[in-house]
Chain A
Amino acid sequence: MEKAKIKVISRNPADYLRQTRHDIFKQPRNTDPKLHPFQAAREYTRALNAAKLERLFAKPFIHSLDGHADAICSLAKHPVSLSCIASGCCDGEIRIWNLSTRKCLSAVNAHRLHSDGLSFRQCCTEYSTGGDDKSIKIWSLDLATKNSLKEPDMTILSKNIFNAIDHSWKSDIFATCGQVVEIWDEEKTEPIRSFTWGIESHIGVRFNPIETNVLACTGSDRSIALYDVRASTPMRKVILEMKTNTVAWNPLEAYHFTAANEDGNLYTFDMRRLDSALCVHVDHVSAVLDVDYSPTGQEFVSGSFDKTVRIFPVNKGKSREVYHTRRMQRVFCVKWSMDNNFIVSGSDETNLRLWKADSSARLGALTARQKASNNYNKKLKKKFENHPQVKRILRHRHVPKPIHRAAAEKRVILDSQKRKEENRLRYTKPDKVERVPERKKHVVGEEA
């Protein structure tokens, strides 16, 4: 006779123990697909909900730091301390802030006029300021005592005003720009190198964080010029349709930089091919004043004259996020924190603002389950991003009315231009005109 076989479910109760008293009871799971029908429909619904929840929790503004008496014109990140940030004011005041306690650590009247340039040295004990009063001052900063000295360690007087200052990422040199681009050694009172290339005014200067000898400088002749610290001559210059305010180098990709332009666009360039931009980032409705890369090199943040801060993915033409508050005026400077989580903006109405880089992210430590849930939701949103409803919810941002109107107007203008060009292309012989891609349209020329 056939003997009956009995299969008994045996489970280790330890696998089903709860971690805490408030935990839910773990249930054994049956993976039989028959028990989990409507896979696609259910995941779609979840994606839709995830998108809605993301918008629901999108509260990016954390805090505003006030104390300055005039517009903030420069910001600098501390290279080692995440919580420390320095801001320079239009009345020449410099303030050091602690972002975690949200307090001002110290305030110094550094310059008589604008303190435009502000940069930390990489060894982080000192920071330098350059101002419109034709002086560079080097200050020492002691974070332990939370006090910086009231008197600068060194003052360098010059014939020229300084519009920007930036420290090299590796050595003790720094670059200033004003009438000329100058390279300074910390130890010396005279510049070790001075570059001129037929311009009377330079606006911004930034060192390449990876190839630390290369730097880019923007000029009032609508140019972006590249320099090498080791060489005695400049390298190359590209001229755009309008003036570029600042550039920011990608910290992950050595030869890519993004330029913040007066025409409201940002242009990402490959240093080796300056005849056309890699990507044109459009969304601002007014001049872009500052740009800074995220330390992961995947995104960058830009501050604009249209009173908004926008976040762009590196390879996307449209912004991912737009930040604005009713009280925030023209944004003169933005910085992305070194841990990739925060954004600091300094604006016209004397306030520093701290934002989250991911608007709906939860601050603080997450449990494993929360992390898993976040990851799943993110993946779902990514999977269903092309579905019209999900797309609509994720894309929608409320912007102030003036910006909304300006954007509509800009759209009309661009559409009209596009239409005109299309017509021109249609009604002329094909070999007489050629289509100029958007990436090349804004580049006037290259100069060797």
Chain B
Amino acid sequence: MFHAKVQQVNIVTSSEDENHEIDENHDKLLAEITAMGNEKKKRKIPVRTEPSPNVSDFGISAGSGKGQKIVFQDLVASIKKSKKLKNIKDQLNTVKVDQSVVEPPIPKPQLERFQRTVLYQDTSKDISKWTDTIRQNRKAEHLSFPLNRYRPTKSSLSTDSVQFKVSTPLEQEIETILNKSKKNIESRNKELTEAEEEALKTMDLEEAKERLAELRKMRALQSHYEQKCKRQKKIKSKKYHRIKKKAEKKKLTKMSMEELMKQDPETIKDDLEKEERARALERVSLRHRNTSKWARYLAAKGRNNPETRKALTEQLKKSRELTEKKEFDLNTAKEDENDRDSPDENNVDLTKIINPNQYNPWLASTNSSKQESSHKDVNTTVQSKQPALEPRAIESDSDYSSVTDDNDDIDITKTNPDQNKLDAKNELDEFAIDDDVDNNSIDQQDAQPNITSAKETNSKKSKKSFHITEEASINPNKFLILEDRSKNALNFTYDGNDSEDSDDSIVNNQLNVEQAFEDDDVIEEFLKEKELSKEASKPKETDLRLPGWGAWSGAGIKKRKKKTKPVPPPPRRQDDHLKNVIINESVDERFTKHQVTQLPHSCRNYRAWNNTMNKPIGRHWNSQSTVEKLTRPRISTLMGTIIDPIKPPKTINKNKKAKDSSSSTSLKIY
């Protein structure tokens, strides 16, 4: 319907146009007819019949020449009112026409340029992520290629325990047994073993909590202790271990045996057993009886040396300590224990094992003899401990003093060795004094002439100086250094008439030197030399004549004047005002060709340059490790290994992974 209406409109407009055209044609025709009568032919003016801009393709004129445009609404308004068309009219009214016009497309070359620019910017930005890595690599002191070399991880207990795979039947068996057990902690994250968990489940809440706390504490303590032990075990220092052992021993000895027995019988048993074993070993091997090569050597060579003697006695002392019979009566302890507890089989066994000599018939006599000897022996120590000394040992042990608890013996023990010592000392001192005396006497003998000679020289000096002062006929120009000269003059002007000094060889020598250089005038020579060097350094006249020119000879030849360049005045010398010095200002080419004339570009300042030059890198001036560090090349490669281009650093991937894993773990937790 709408279409029909539009067509109608079209038809209307077209009919109007047609009318207009007919009128035009009619006028034309009339004009032609009137012109036919005229003989004069007028020039034909063609009429332009271009389609006007006002006419649209659809034959709708764009208004009546006043710039009016047909608006869509007008067209809609022109639809006649009818019920049938109302619906369509409403629909058309709702349509809102967008007046804005789409921009014409950018020309292709320009568009491509934009695309390229954006692409380039993006890629540049993306590739700039390498800046840090590149900077780092450029600055790096050492680069070892391939950069991300595969290095197998070091195996440790923790990794091995995870990666361990059962292979042999024995291992399989162990594995099955372990798997059955409820007491192993399966993973690190788990805090409790299966058995413990079960136990906790059976308890009520409060108790379980308490128990759990206790367990935790124990675990922590245990792990701390393990760590500590591990750390201590790693210490390699012998000294540390020696001190540690000593401290432990001290701790043991501090407590009396009985106390210890009460506290910790097991360890005491072990200790006693150990000692027993050590004693047996010592008795068999005689290791500390001065039988070793070292001891024999010392005994042979350094018998008189108190140091060696001391060392030997020390060893003997150790041997004595080791072979000493421990007189700890376990029976009494046992009795005490028996009083308290029921009789223990272990203890009985122990006494038998540890102290089999208890019932040894051989021991009884020694015991009694020891008791007797204890009064005689000076060196008896603690009442309970009876050293089984051998006569040889006692002999050698004359100056060994031990601290005793026995009041009676104190005096003796203190006095005797001290006296011995004193004697020895006195002897030594005497010898030393003798020595000293000898020395002194020798010294004195030696010194006597020395002193005299010194005196003489002094007197000489005074004489000579006096002598000099007496001399008046000295050229004042030749005085350079007054004080020094007086000293020097001593040697030069000495004459050896004195009978006293005739046997002194040094003076003789000096004399000879003096005589040899009698005629030399050093100062004069020096001055001459300086004069010469000054002459040499002066700029020379240059002869400008051609070589050979004017050198002819013959009668009536006049000698021509020399043509010379004017000589510039000699430059000032550094030693002009210094009387006693010649400073050579000429440059030696032999040195200059090895010297750096300009500070290199890479060096910031003179000091930095000097530092690098003065810092040696060779092994004669540095330790091995320093040399290795200093001479390590910047680039090192592995032989026969392909070096791939650098790959993006792992940190990026790692971060990504970490993120993923964290999310997964969080899921597990909740």
Which residues of A approach B to under 8 Å, CB–CB?
Answer: 1, 3, 29, 31, 33, 36, 39-40, 42-44, 46, 79-80, 82, 169, 209-211, 214, 226, 228, 231, 233-236, 251-256, 271-272, 295-298, 338-341, 365, 372, 375-376, 378-380, 383, 386-389, 448
Cβ < 8 Å to A, chain B residues 578-619: 593-597, 600, 612-614, 616-619
The answer to whether the Cβ of B145 comes within 8 Å of any Cβ in the partner chain is yes
B112 and A340 form a contact (CB under 8 A): no
Contacts A1-B432, A39-B618 supplied; 5 other A-B pairs, CB < 8 Å: A43-B617, A231-B119, A295-B643, A372-B627, A388-B593
Which listed segment binds A: B216-224, B280-288, B629-637?
B629-637
Q: Which one, A209, A298, A386, contacts B635 given CB within 8 A?
A: A298
B429 and A339 form a contact (CB under 8 A): no
Q: Which one, A214, A233, A379, contacts B617 given CB within 8 A?
A: A379
Task: Report the separation of the CA atoms of residues A31 and B619 in the bound assembly, to the nearest whole angstrom.
Answer: 9
The interface residues of chain A, by DSSP majority, are classed as loop
- Contact status of A339 and B617, CB under 8 A, knowing A1-B432, A296-B635: no
A214 and B642 form a contact (CB under 8 A): no
Interface string of B117-130 (1 = CB under 8 A from A): 10110011011101
Q: Which one, A46, A233, A338, A339, contacts B112 given CB within 8 A?
A: A233
> Could you pull out 10 A-B pairs where Cβ atoms are within 8 angstroms?
A29-B619, A233-B112, A252-B134, A255-B130, A272-B127, A295-B645, A339-B642, A341-B637, A341-B639, A372-B627
Name the CB-closest residue of B to A78: B642
Chain A neighbourhood of B521, CB < 8 A: none
Chain B neighbourhood of A339, CB < 8 A: 637-643
Interface string of B635-670 (1 = CB under 8 A from A): 101111111111100000000000000000000000
B633 and A375 form a contact (CB under 8 A): yes
Q: Which one, A228, A254, A380, A389, contacts B134 given CB within 8 A?
A: A254
Chain B neighbourhood of A235, CB < 8 A: 116, 119-120, 123
Q: Which one, B429, B631, B643, contacts A376 given CB within 8 A?
A: B631
A82 and B646 form a contact (CB under 8 A): no
Say how far B66's CB is from chain A's closest CB, in angstroms. Answer: 50
The answer to whether the Cβ of B444 comes within 8 Å of any Cβ in the partner chain is no
Q: Which one, B623, B630, B642, B645, contacts A169 given CB within 8 A?
A: B645
B627 and A254 form a contact (CB under 8 A): no
- Contact status of A39 and B621, CB under 8 A, knowing A209-B645, A210-B646, A388-B596: yes
Task: Report the separation of the CA atoms of residues A324 and B531 in the bound assembly, to the nearest whole angstrom.
Answer: 59
Say how far A169's CB is from chain B's closest CB, in angstroms. Answer: 7
Task: Report the separation of the CA atoms of residues A432 and B618 in the bound assembly, to the nearest whole angstrom.
Answer: 56
Q: Which one, B119, B306, B614, B646, contacts A251 given CB within 8 A?
A: B646
Task: Report the separation of the CA atoms of residues A271 and B119 in the bound assembly, to the nearest whole angstrom.
Answer: 13
Task: Report the separation of the CA atoms of residues A40 and B596 in the bound assembly, to the nearest whole angstrom.
Answer: 14
B600 and A376 form a contact (CB under 8 A): no
Name the CB-closest residue of B to A44: B594
The answer to whether the Cβ of B278 comes within 8 Å of any Cβ in the partner chain is no
Name the CB-closest residue of A to B632: A375
Chain A neighbourhood of B633, CB < 8 A: 375, 378-379
Name the CB-closest residue of A to B127: A255
Task: Report the separation of the CA atoms of residues A251 and B128 in the bound assembly, to the nearest whole angstrom.
Answer: 15
A296 and B643 form a contact (CB under 8 A): yes
Chain A neighbourhood of B639, CB < 8 A: 339, 341, 365
A36 and B116 form a contact (CB under 8 A): no
A271 and B117 form a contact (CB under 8 A): no
Chain B neighbourhood of A271, CB < 8 A: 123-124, 127
Chain B neighbourhood of A1, CB < 8 A: 428-429, 432
Chain A neighbourhood of B637, CB < 8 A: 296, 339-341
Interface string of B227-251 (1 = CB under 8 A from A): 0000000000000000000000000
B116 and A31 form a contact (CB under 8 A): no
Chain B neighbourhood of A386, CB < 8 A: 596, 600
Q: Which 9 A-B pairs have the closest CB atoms?
A: A295-B643, A209-B645, A251-B645, A375-B631, A254-B130, A272-B124, A386-B600, A338-B642, A36-B620
Chain A neighbourhood of B143, CB < 8 A: 296
The answer to whether the Cβ of B357 comes within 8 Å of any Cβ in the partner chain is no
B646 and A228 form a contact (CB under 8 A): no
Say how far A148's CB is from chain B's closest CB, in angstroms. Answer: 21
Task: Report the separation of the CA atoms of residues A31 and B642 in the bound assembly, to the nearest whole angstrom.
Answer: 42
Chain A neighbourhood of B441, CB < 8 A: none
B617 and A380 form a contact (CB under 8 A): yes
Task: Report the separation of the CA atoms of residues A80 and B643 in the bound assembly, to the nearest whole angstrom.
Answer: 10
Say how far A21's CB is from chain B's closest CB, in angstroms. Answer: 24
A236 and B120 form a contact (CB under 8 A): yes
Chain B neighbourhood of A388, CB < 8 A: 593-597
A389 and B428 form a contact (CB under 8 A): no
Task: Report the separation of the CA atoms of residues A72 and B618 in the bound assembly, to the nearest whole angstrom.
Answer: 47
Q: Which one, A169, A214, A233, A255, contacts B116 given CB within 8 A?
A: A233
Task: Report the separation of the CA atoms of residues A195 and B617 in the bound assembly, to the nearest whole angstrom.
Answer: 57
Task: Report the separation of the CA atoms of residues A253 and B134 in the bound assembly, to the nearest whole angstrom.
Answer: 6
Say how far A79's CB is from chain B's closest CB, in angstroms. Answer: 8
Chain B neighbourhood of A272, CB < 8 A: 124, 127-128
A340 and B119 form a contact (CB under 8 A): no
Name the CB-closest residue of A to B641: A339
B123 and A43 form a contact (CB under 8 A): no
Interface string of B452-467 (1 = CB under 8 A from A): 0000000000000000
Name the CB-closest residue of A to B617: A379
Task: Report the separation of the CA atoms of residues A372 and B307 in the bound assembly, to the nearest whole angstrom.
Answer: 47
- Contact status of A36 and B621, CB under 8 A, knowing A272-B127, A376-B631: yes
Chain A neighbourhood of B120, CB < 8 A: 226, 235-236, 448
Say how far A354's CB is from chain B's closest CB, in angstroms. Answer: 15
Task: Report the separation of the CA atoms of residues A448 and B128 in the bound assembly, to the nearest whole angstrom.
Answer: 19
Q: Which of B113, B124, B595 has the most CB of A within 10 A?
A: B124
Say how far B489's CB is from chain A's closest CB, in angstroms. Answer: 37
Chain B neighbourhood of A338, CB < 8 A: 642-643
Q: Which one, A33, A39, A228, A340, contacts B643 given CB within 8 A?
A: A340
Chain A neighbourhood of B593, CB < 8 A: 388-389
The answer to whether the Cβ of B137 comes within 8 Å of any Cβ in the partner chain is yes
B596 and A387 form a contact (CB under 8 A): yes
B594 and A3 form a contact (CB under 8 A): no
Task: Report the separation of the CA atoms of residues A271 and B117 in the bound assembly, to the nearest whole angstrom.
Answer: 14
The answer to whether the Cβ of B115 comes within 8 Å of any Cβ in the partner chain is yes
Say how far A49's CB is from chain B's closest CB, in angstroms. Answer: 13
B643 and A40 form a contact (CB under 8 A): no
Chain A neighbourhood of B134, CB < 8 A: 252-254, 256
B627 and A376 form a contact (CB under 8 A): yes
Chain A neighbourhood of B594, CB < 8 A: 44, 387-389
Task: Report the separation of the CA atoms of residues A302 and B128 in the bound assembly, to the nearest whole angstrom.
Answer: 27
Say how far A3's CB is from chain B's closest CB, in angstroms. Answer: 7
Name the CB-closest residue of B to A337: B642
Task: Report the separation of the CA atoms of residues A380 and B619 in the bound assembly, to the nearest whole angstrom.
Answer: 12
Say how far A7's CB is from chain B's closest CB, in angstroms. Answer: 13
Task: Report the separation of the CA atoms of residues A3 and B308 in the bound assembly, to the nearest whole angstrom.
Answer: 12
Cβ < 8 Å to A, chain B residues 82-125: 112-113, 115-117, 119-120, 123-124
A43 and B124 form a contact (CB under 8 A): no
Name the CB-closest residue of B to A373: B631
Task: Report the separation of the CA atoms of residues A79 and B645 in the bound assembly, to the nearest whole angstrom.
Answer: 11
Task: Report the separation of the CA atoms of residues A236 and B122 in the bound assembly, to the nearest whole angstrom.
Answer: 12
Task: Report the separation of the CA atoms of residues A29 and B71 in the bound assembly, to the nearest whole angstrom.
Answer: 109
Task: Report the separation of the CA atoms of residues A29 and B428 in the bound assembly, to the nearest whole angstrom.
Answer: 41
Task: Report the separation of the CA atoms of residues A39 and B143 in the bound assembly, to the nearest whole angstrom.
Answer: 30
Chain B neighbourhood of A375, CB < 8 A: 631-633
Name the CB-closest residue of B to A235: B120
Chain B neighbourhood of A44, CB < 8 A: 594
B119 and A376 form a contact (CB under 8 A): no
Task: Report the separation of the CA atoms of residues A437 and B192 in the bound assembly, to the nearest whole angstrom.
Answer: 75
Say how far B118's CB is from chain A's closest CB, in angstroms. Answer: 9
Q: Which of A29, A210, A251 has the most CB of B within 10 A?
A: A210
Task: Report the separation of the CA atoms of residues A448 and B113 in the bound assembly, to the nearest whole angstrom.
Answer: 6
Say how far A445's CB is from chain B's closest CB, in angstroms. Answer: 14
Chain A neighbourhood of B130, CB < 8 A: 210, 253-255
A40 and B614 form a contact (CB under 8 A): yes
Say how far B438's CB is from chain A's closest CB, in angstroms. Answer: 16
Chain A neighbourhood of B642, CB < 8 A: 79-80, 82, 295, 338-339
